[in-house]
Chain A
């Protein structure tokens, strides 16, 4: 049976006047009511959603694909008047006074924001267990993590609560949870999407993207949110294409690289086997797949944790208990306001990264840590550039294993960090990349990662769509055809 929980299906029903934005919202709310008690994906439901849906129905214009479609937004993206916490106690009651540019664009396209979804505090983590508020479950197995940091986005989409959600990706935070939940996740090229109104983690790496149930839905949503923004000087002036332009086109002749390092040490052989099978499918579709080398891959994790933590330690200085956010009580003096508000407001992982970053930037250590990491980042970028001289796309697993059990890694930061080895290099180089479903290991979804040249998301969508069409993973999503 066709999946009705897609943007495409909802748009068709709306355009044919078979349903309304209000009916779709009510159905989404009913699914959330039924499922979220267990899943725990949502932090806040939007009290303005009904009014938004009414306005869209009133206008009656369903020409745009997202008009009347219910969406969820990761809770580190600010929404005017709707509590935005970054899953941190320090922002527990924070009520933004403006919308992030991506939210403004969703609103203008007629999408209805159902609510805000859970994440690792300040997007720091790979399991959503670092949320100060709740532990989101994997949509396939509630004893397992949904991945992170966009764990709420991925679980909500996989469980069919909403057809699409926004996420953010600093080191894999869209792709890894997408892989763990068997959905599509795209992190666009750095600079493709505005970060205005995205609560900053690591500004040279953060990028907003989309989690959805189909490749086309991801492309349609990226069409809405992409583009230059005067409010974010790091957005690119590159023209924004129609991201669906190459969907449905043959991939015959496409040159795909498979890095040996992405199937090496630490990668579950069963996951590697799924990726080899995907490579065979691409070959059967007329593409060539050849083994290449990205020799600096193993240095990506250490370089990333220095760079991302350094940027985070600087970005998170703004949380001082003075102008907004949590302020500690019974303080002795001004320094005490800062220290106590931060110490009581931030969770352990956020503190760990602030500490690591502050250390890396401190006098006497800067050259050995931050500068060295920034130089290694150059070498990682050059590895990609070299491969892209001869290939259109790079493929590999999104994660070394399928979703792990809740509680398994949260007490061991280093093991948790190593989980990101296959997604981090992409952020360091600023490249676009997606994770798409590629089968199962032990009944849990495996993610296939497709990495493109800068600003060539359309090539990723083309290959992802061809792969999707050759498989039937969508039908297996929990709650798909109801």
Chain B
């Protein structure tokens, strides 16, 4: 059974934060889901290859032809904050350490 501590660890890996109440709820829900998933243990998969795609194409290659069909100003249309052609982000150094 998944513990609240491991859910908190997964949250950190996922770059998500939860309140204590949310963590408790997610622990219960993920526990239930993983419990359902454990049915898979019944299936004998000895020697069975894994399927990760169903199109059966491998290493699709194309010529490396340079093309320029996106304008820089278009690329900046959805940037939250920018200065010229630079994306502006908050200070990377923790403000509390200033």
Q: Which residues of A contact B (CB under 8 A)?
A: 93-95, 97-98, 190-191, 204, 230, 233-234, 236-237, 296, 298-299, 301-303, 305-306, 313, 317, 320-325, 327, 331-340, 342-343, 346, 351-352, 354-356, 358-359, 362, 369, 371-379, 381, 413-414, 417, 428-430
Are the C-beta atoms of A359 and B15 separated by less than 8 Å?
no
Bound complex: CA A302 to CA B16 (Å)? 24
Are the C-beta atoms of B16 and A376 separated by less than 8 Å?
no
Are the C-beta atoms of A302 and B55 separated by less than 8 Å?
no
Are the C-beta atoms of B16 and A355 separated by less than 8 Å?
yes
Known: A298-B39, A375-B48. A95 touches B15 (CB 8 A): no
**Chain B interfacial residues counted at CB < 8 A:** 54
Are the C-beta atoms of B14 and A354 separated by less than 8 Å?
yes
User: Nearest Cβ in chain B — how far from A188, in angstroms?
Assistant: 12
User: Nearest Cβ in chain A — how far from B27, in angstroms?
Assistant: 10
User: Nearest Cβ in chain B — how far from A454, in angstroms?
Assistant: 8
CB contacts (< 8 Å) of A342 on chain B: these are: 14-16
Are the C-beta atoms of B52 and A299 separated by less than 8 Å?
no
The 4 closest A-B pairs by CB, nearest first: A430-B54, A374-B50, A324-B78, A375-B45
User: Nearest Cβ in chain A — how far from B76, in angstroms?
Assistant: 9
Known: A298-B39, A375-B49. A204 touches B54 (CB 8 A): yes
User: Nearest Cβ in chain B — how far from A179, in angstroms?
Assistant: 23
Bound complex: CA A333 to CA B55 (Å)? 42
Our pick among A323, A334, A414 for the contact of B90 (Cβ within 8 Å) is A334
CB contacts (< 8 Å) of B92 on chain A: these are: 333-334
Q: Does B83 touch A at the CB level, under 8 Å?
A: no
Complex: chain A residue closest to B32, CB-CB: A414
Are the C-beta atoms of B16 and A379 separated by less than 8 Å?
no
Are the C-beta atoms of B49 and A355 separated by less than 8 Å?
no
Are the C-beta atoms of A379 and B45 separated by less than 8 Å?
yes
A-B contact pairs, 7 of them (CB 8 A): A322-B89, A333-B90, A343-B16, A343-B18, A351-B26, A358-B13, A369-B34
User: Nearest Cβ in chain B — how far from A164, in angstroms?
Assistant: 26
Other A-B pairs beyond A332-B95, A339-B15, A369-B34, 14, CB < 8 Å: A94-B78, A97-B78, A204-B52, A313-B14, A323-B87, A338-B15, A354-B16, A355-B16, A356-B33, A359-B10, A359-B34, A374-B51, A376-B40, A376-B45
Known: A204-B53, A381-B51. A325 touches B78 (CB 8 A): yes
User: Nearest Cβ in chain A — how far from B2, in angstroms?
Assistant: 7
Q: Could you mark each residue 44-82 of chain B with 1 if its beta carbon is under 8 Å from any beta carbon of chain A, else 0?
A: 010011111111010010100000001000110111110
Complex: chain A residue closest to B12, CB-CB: A339
CB contacts (< 8 Å) of B6 on chain A: these are: 359
